[in-house]
Structure 1
Amino acid sequence: MPPWAASVPRMTFLRTGRAIDSLRLAFLCRHATKPRFANLRARSASTHVSPTAINLRPNIPPQNKELHDTLSALSGAAETYVNISRLQLALQGLAAQDAVTRVAVLGLDSQVSAQRLARLLLADPLGAEEQWEKELEKAGDGNERAVLLKYGDESDALAPTPLYKVLSIPSRVLRSHNLEILVSTLNVNVSNKVASASTESSTESILVPKLQATSARGLPVPYPVHKTLIVGEGLDSAILFGRFSSDTAEEVGNMVKVAVELPAPQEEPNPEVQTGSVAINVQVGIQALASFRESIQNSVAYERGWFRSGLPALSHWLTQDLQPSESVKPTLKTLVASIADEVEADIAQADSAQLQKLASIPTNHEVAASIVGHLESWAEKSHTELRDQLDEAFSAQNWHKLSWWKLFWRVDDITMISSEILERRWLVSAEKSSIYLAGRMNQVGFPEDIQRHAVNEIPEVTMQDTAPTAENPRTDLSTEVRKPQPWPEHIATARTELIADTVPPLQALAQRLILQTFSTTSLSSALSALLYVSVSSISLFEASAVAALGLTFSLRKMQKLWEGARESWQGTVREEGRRTLKSTEELVRRIISSQGKETLIEAEGAAERRDAREAVQKVRDALDRIGKQKLDAREHVR
């Protein structure tokens, strides 16, 4: 069907020996007017937003909000796998009631053929040749800037952009379908594709064309589109494109159409046959258009040439699924589904690469035995270090500064001295050595993060997960078991928890003992003075005995409790060190015995891929619900 047939009342080509009712055709032509509504033009803004524009929160239609939210969440959950340019295009479409649809017409290594084809698809055969057609028809060397075709009047003043040239076209096709067409080139040089295969797939090159700025230092800017029409000349270009698109996903479906310039057939092809490629002849279409514009008496020749050129199939594909709708346009739904398919394909590729990595991991008996040997050596040295370092620390002068009789002037140094012992004497070398051991394990394929295996295995010290802050005050009286940390970091975590949970009670006990000692001594002294004053038969020496008894009792109690607390704290520190080393050794042995393959899959991005899959599923569910709502609305109308 010609591109103007959609805007003209239904035209019936009466074929009786290729004859057409001339009077009916002349009547339609006389009443068909060109879309030059200078004062009542309804133009849609381009979806290409300047990066310097202020990002205001869009007024999302209620029926699109769920899909918009799930698609926005996909950008965070699958940022490694999703194409941000295509995702932003889909979000912009969902944020508007009737968003602009972008279609790219890309010539294979030449923009000239794409410009000529775009002119035929948008030209109005009922009117004379316009200025925009002449500009678009200009031949060149294939290195021209891209051209963006928008609906509007040719006299409109447009802001210049270094990425493409903008042409305002009074086309019914662009106006009625809210359409924009980008005319550019697609480089299908196989050698260049191989060089860039690691960074960009052929699907991305087709659906996200790169626009080069006019500046010599300008970087290519992605311009995502909803659909792409590839234009080639001859069989050689078709073969080159086949090699280029060998890795193109099959899910692109109707989003990509390939038109190959071939000699026109003798018989008219059937335009209703939907395939991924179509044979066209642009020169035959140009001649047919020129003959019809010359005289409507050439309508039969125009019809024959138009159908022989193969352009009706492209005209139908161009406007397919672009009808305004209260729900999401089919083209936009196809774009969202394509994004979800692309993310799932990238996730599956990452899983495959992970499995290949696992298959190449050396996990034979010799490697495991070597790691076990390093582990045993580490454990032996760590236990020796724990014993010797703590013995040296508890026999040092600093620790003796905390003797019971020195508490009266050393009570404020308890936190500092105790923390210093834990920070400088408690498994310091063992922690550093564990890093080297973890590196050896990772080198042969064992995981760095064993958090999933470490549940209930790392020695637990009850504490609050976070320290009290102004935003998160610690108001509850219950304690929680700390979260398991990736080995070997749990040694440092255990040290921090020991400082946080055992040093403050030791400090508080010392302060309480001093207070009790002063209180008991003061009470006994007061009682001694009272006896001396009130009882005349008691001498000063006898009254002082009561005060001495109270002082002796309080000091003895202070000595007993404080020395017991110090010994208990020493034992706790030693025991926690042994538990930490023992649990770590047992855990690593189990990982070695299981070869660590299952853990490696979980460790290397498995959680990220799982979250990405869940986000994709939510997008698909939102799409399904939109489709069901549309069906329910149709049933309600019936």
Structure 2
Amino acid sequence: MPPWVASAPRLSSLITGRAIERTPAALRCRNAARRRSSNLRVRSASTQVSPTAINLRPNIPRRNKELHDALSELSGAAETYVNISRLQLALSGLAAQDAVTRVAVLGLNSQVSAQRLARLLLADPLGAEERWEKGLISAGDGNERAVLLKYGEEGDNPTPSPLYKVLSIPSRVLRSHNLEMLVSTLNVHVANTTISSIESSKEAVLVPKLQATSARGLPVPYPVHKTLVFGEGIDSAIAFGRLASDNVEDLPDTVKLAIDLPAPEEETSPDAQSASTPVNLQVGTKAIATFRESIQNSIAYERGWYRSGLPSLSSWLTHDLQPTEPMKPVLKTFVASILDDVEAKITKEDTDQLQKLTALPSSHETTASIVDHLETWAEKSHTELRDELDAAFTARNWYKLAWWKLLWRVDDISMISSEILERRWLVSAEKSSIYLAGRMNQAGFPDELQKLVVNSTPEVTTEETAPTAENPRLDISTDVRKPLPWPEHIAAARTELINENVPPLQALAQRLILQTFSTTSLSSALSALLYVSVSSFSVFEASAVGVLGLTFSLRRMQKLWEGARESWQSTVREEGRRTLKATEETVRLIIKNKEDADRGIVVVDESVRERKEAREAVARVRESLERLGGDVK
């Protein structure tokens, strides 16, 4: 016996019980009062405000108070991991005596097809075609706003909303199961399916985004309990598969995929609770139209209706919506789904943190690597100091400051000596120290030592320590200074050398020139005086005195100036070595202090505590749900 023949008695019983519905408006008038009463009851449980609005604390039923309080605590303890809009929908459901169940019908890139499907699911085949059906069938090109289908008379004027168009329809399905159906679109492009990394695919389907008609036009989340996704053709199925590829295993309980495909030749019996089902809107529309023409076409209607695949969608739509104590099964499943999402996000966060910790090198390996880089840097820096200064002090510029050129090069001393320090004195070492500091900073080492840094820069030269003709050596000592980041030690030492050692060298050269001219002038004057006053002195003998003075002054200038130049060279070399040594010791001291601190400090990750509190809050909600008889697997 064919399936449609076996189901004929059920259809006959339906026709017998509701044949009076085919009569004119007399019976409708008789049932008007009952419908208005039911309409008021449904409206009282409906939520017309924005799903993200924060409402005042309602009068919560006593049986749901414990679970309501636990869910409220979850919003604070796990605010990072919970979807607030879904949580608010669950709280509003627990706060009402008979809360409305929200179901979304989302068309893949087309709202028109979703409206046609919603019309077939809610239409009454025993009644004539109503205005709301024609409105859904002939609605625009898919660019209109979402439509919210609510139970009510067609003449009712529901409160308008900027998020969707509200349509009141006298559907028995909506009235008997206290349903609201949102018809919208799910923007999934077949050629290029992408989804935000912040939002999971499950949230994208169960929390549709509605475009507000405000000035800003920002999308507003509208959470639902169940979602029916409708696509046309195999390409739509592939697009939805790409969208839900990250957690498709979580979707079958609350999400169903319907694909408009050619109807089979014979009836099929798909599982009502399967993840997807093939349907054919054309066959279903034709079946309803045939039955509305005449009750005699009931067998043809039933055959076409089952061939269309729509009965499985109708069964899925009303599944778990029957009123039970203490709450509807769909609400239990919804709360359990929120808890599963929170735990999944916490577990993912734990996994990511463990992977980061596993990828990071150990403290010992990091320290050893830094020490190796430090030793390499020190070796190269000392080599650079030696080679660069050797090249600088044998170059032509430094040769320009020879003692016998001092008479006309005395004004170039500051320029030439400063240029040597700026271009030859640990230039590459300074750059390499910045790279090394970056490695240390990345590894968690500080840049300086508070109250422990012994600055290697030269002390300020005073008149007592300045080089003189009798004491040309530049003795520079260290002093305890304000903490300075170690990568800046070389630059600070160079600045000190330029500011405090170059001017004394310039002053010494000028003083030697002045002394030479003075000595030569006095000896020349003495020579002339002897020639004039002593008649026995010839010109040759008197000139010998002047030449002796000139020779003495030049020799003295040569000795003192060359000694000062050699002393300045040795000072520059020594200060370079001392700066490098002090910098290396400072870095080693930073590493040692960091190791000592790590041994005595237990690092507490704040996110670990937050995830622990979130798990505890989830456990309390599960315990409350279990006491109410909820499925908390």
TM class by shorter-chain length? Answer: 0.5 to 0.7
Alpha-carbon offset, residue 156 of structure 1 = 0.7
Alignment map for 1:350-369 (pairs within 5 Å)? 350-363=349-362, 365=364, 367-368=366-367
| CA spacing shift, 1:586–1:612, aligned 2, 3 Å | farther
Residue 595 of structure 2 is aligned to residue 589 of structure 1: yes
TM-score by length of 1: 0.59
1:161 alignment counterpart = 161
Query: Aligned with 2:37: secondary structure?
Result: coil
2:112 alignment counterpart = 112
1:80 alignment counterpart = 80
| CA spacing shift, 1:592–1:71, aligned 2, 3 Å | same
1:312 alignment counterpart = 311
1:428 alignment counterpart = none
| CA spacing shift, 1:93–1:586, aligned 2, 3 Å | farther
User: Aligned equivalents of 1:311 and 1:113: distance in 2?
Assistant: 14
| CA spacing shift, 1:26–1:612, aligned 2, 3 Å | closer
Query: Aligned with 1:267: secondary structure?
Result: coil
Residue 281 of structure 2 is aligned to residue 275 of structure 1: no
Residue 598 of structure 2 is aligned to residue 615 of structure 1: no
1:225 alignment counterpart = 224
| CA spacing shift, 1:16–1:333, aligned 2, 3 Å | closer
User: Aligned equivalents of 1:232 and 1:23: distance in 2?
Assistant: 33
User: Aligned equivalents of 1:143 and 1:97: distance in 2?
Assistant: 37
Which has the larger displacement, 335-344 or 47-56?
A: 47-56
Alpha-carbon offset, residue 262 of structure 1 = 0.5
1:129 alignment counterpart = 129
Amino acid corresponding to residue 358 of structure 1 in structure 2: L
Which has the larger displacement, 142-151 or 620-629?
A: 620-629
Alpha-carbon offset, residue 22 of structure 1 = 9.6
User: Aligned equivalents of 2:323 and 2:11: distance in 1?
Assistant: 34
Deviations 1:448-482 (A, max 9, x none): xxxxxxxxxxxxxxxxxxxxxxxxxxxxxxxxxxx
Q: Is the 8 A contact 2:52 2:88 kept in 1?
A: no
Amino acid corresponding to residue 55 of structure 2 in structure 1: N
Q: Is the 8 A contact 1:361 1:444 kept in 2?
A: no
1:146 alignment counterpart = 146
1:485 alignment counterpart = none
Query: Aligned with 1:289: secondary structure?
Result: helix
| CA spacing shift, 1:215–1:283, aligned 2, 3 Å | same
Q: Is the 8 A contact 1:211 1:221 kept in 2?
A: yes
| CA spacing shift, 1:14–1:83, aligned 2, 3 Å | closer
Amino acid corresponding to residue 287 of structure 2 in structure 1: A
Residue 322 of structure 2 is aligned to residue 333 of structure 1: no
Alpha-carbon offset, residue 205 of structure 1 = 0.7
Identity among equivalent pairs (%): 65
User: Aligned equivalents of 2:11 and 2:77: distance in 1?
Assistant: 62
1:40 alignment counterpart = 37
Alignment map for 1:468-479 (pairs within 5 Å)? none
1:234 alignment counterpart = 233
Alpha-carbon offset, residue 191 of structure 1 = 7.7
User: Aligned equivalents of 2:341 and 2:445: distance in 1?
Assistant: 31
User: Aligned equivalents of 1:368 and 1:307: distance in 2?
Assistant: 73
User: Aligned equivalents of 2:10 and 2:321: distance in 1?
Assistant: 32
2:96 alignment counterpart = 96
2:425 alignment counterpart = none
1:554 alignment counterpart = none
2:16 alignment counterpart = 27
Q: Is the 8 A contact 1:251 1:341 kept in 2?
A: no
Alpha-carbon offset, residue 125 of structure 1 = 0.8
Amino acid corresponding to residue 614 of structure 1 in structure 2: E
Q: Is the 8 A contact 1:20 1:300 kept in 2?
A: no
Query: Aligned with 2:88: secondary structure?
Result: helix
Query: Aligned with 1:141: secondary structure?
Result: coil
Alpha-carbon offset, residue 47 of structure 1 = 2.1
Structure with bigger gyration radius = 2
Alpha-carbon offset, residue 271 of structure 1 = 4.4
User: Aligned equivalents of 1:622 and 1:362: distance in 2?
Assistant: 44
Alpha-carbon offset, residue 36 of structure 1 = 4.2
Deviations 1:93-123 (A, max 9, x none): 0111210000000000001111001001100
User: Aligned equivalents of 2:7 and 2:319: distance in 1?
Assistant: 28
Alpha-carbon offset, residue 207 of structure 1 = 0.2
User: Aligned equivalents of 2:630 and 2:197: distance in 1?
Assistant: 40
| CA spacing shift, 1:252–1:337, aligned 2, 3 Å | farther
Deviations 1:378-428 (A, max 9, x none): xxxxxxxxxxxxxxxxxxxxxxxxxxxxxxxxxxxxxxxxxxxxxxxxxxx
User: Aligned equivalents of 1:52 and 1:234: distance in 2?
Assistant: 35
Q: Is the 8 A contact 1:105 1:118 kept in 2?
A: yes
User: Aligned equivalents of 1:102 and 1:47: distance in 2?
Assistant: 10
Q: Is the 8 A contact 2:149 2:168 kept in 1?
A: yes
CA RMSD in angstroms, aligned pairs only: 3.5
Alpha-carbon offset, residue 139 of structure 1 = 4.4
Which has the larger displacement, 16-25 or 359-368?
A: 16-25
Alpha-carbon offset, residue 362 of structure 1 = 3.3
Query: Aligned with 1:254: secondary structure?
Result: coil
User: Aligned equivalents of 2:7 and 2:614: distance in 1?
Assistant: 59
Q: Is the 8 A contact 1:271 1:312 kept in 2?
A: no
Q: Is the 8 A contact 2:120 2:285 kept in 1?
A: yes
Q: Is the 8 A contact 2:190 2:238 kept in 1?
A: no
Alpha-carbon offset, residue 217 of structure 1 = 2.8
1:484 alignment counterpart = none
Amino acid corresponding to residue 589 of structure 1 in structure 2: E
Match of 2:605 among 600, 603, 606: 603
| CA spacing shift, 1:327–1:22, aligned 2, 3 Å | closer
Amino acid corresponding to residue 254 of structure 2 in structure 1: M
2:293 alignment counterpart = 294
Residue 200 of structure 2 is aligned to residue 201 of structure 1: yes
Query: Aligned with 2:366: secondary structure?
Result: helix
Q: Is the 8 A contact 1:252 1:338 kept in 2?
A: no
| CA spacing shift, 1:203–1:591, aligned 2, 3 Å | farther
Alpha-carbon offset, residue 621 of structure 1 = 1.1
| CA spacing shift, 1:612–1:330, aligned 2, 3 Å | same
Q: Is the 8 A contact 2:149 2:180 kept in 1?
A: yes
Alpha-carbon offset, residue 48 of structure 1 = 3.9
Match of 2:627 among 620, 625, 628: 625
Deviations 1:352-373 (A, max 9, x none): 2112221232336463258899
User: Aligned equivalents of 1:18 and 1:604: distance in 2?
Assistant: 62
What is the aligned residue count?
416
TM-score by length of 2: 0.60
Query: Aligned with 1:224: secondary structure?
Result: coil
User: Aligned equivalents of 1:628 and 1:603: distance in 2?
Assistant: 34
User: Aligned equivalents of 1:88 and 1:446: distance in 2?
Assistant: 45
User: Aligned equivalents of 1:22 and 1:63: distance in 2?
Assistant: 40
Amino acid corresponding to residue 29 of structure 1 in structure 2: R
Which has the larger displacement, 282-291 or 247-256?
A: 247-256
Alpha-carbon offset, residue 61 of structure 1 = 1.0
Amino acid corresponding to residue 626 of structure 1 in structure 2: L
User: Aligned equivalents of 2:441 and 2:322: distance in 1?
Assistant: 56
Deviations 1:538-571 (A, max 9, x none): xxxxxxxxxxxxxxxxxxxxxxxxxxxxxxxxxx
2:502 alignment counterpart = none
User: Aligned equivalents of 2:94 and 2:37: distance in 1?
Assistant: 26
| CA spacing shift, 1:205–1:358, aligned 2, 3 Å | same
1:534 alignment counterpart = none
1:212 alignment counterpart = 211
Amino acid corresponding to residue 310 of structure 1 in structure 2: G
Alpha-carbon offset, residue 30 of structure 1 = 2.5
Deviations 1:131-157 (A, max 9, x none): 111111114322221000000111111
Deviations 1:267-326 (A, max 9, x none): 111145531100000110000000111100100010001100001110011111111123
| CA spacing shift, 1:95–1:440, aligned 2, 3 Å | farther
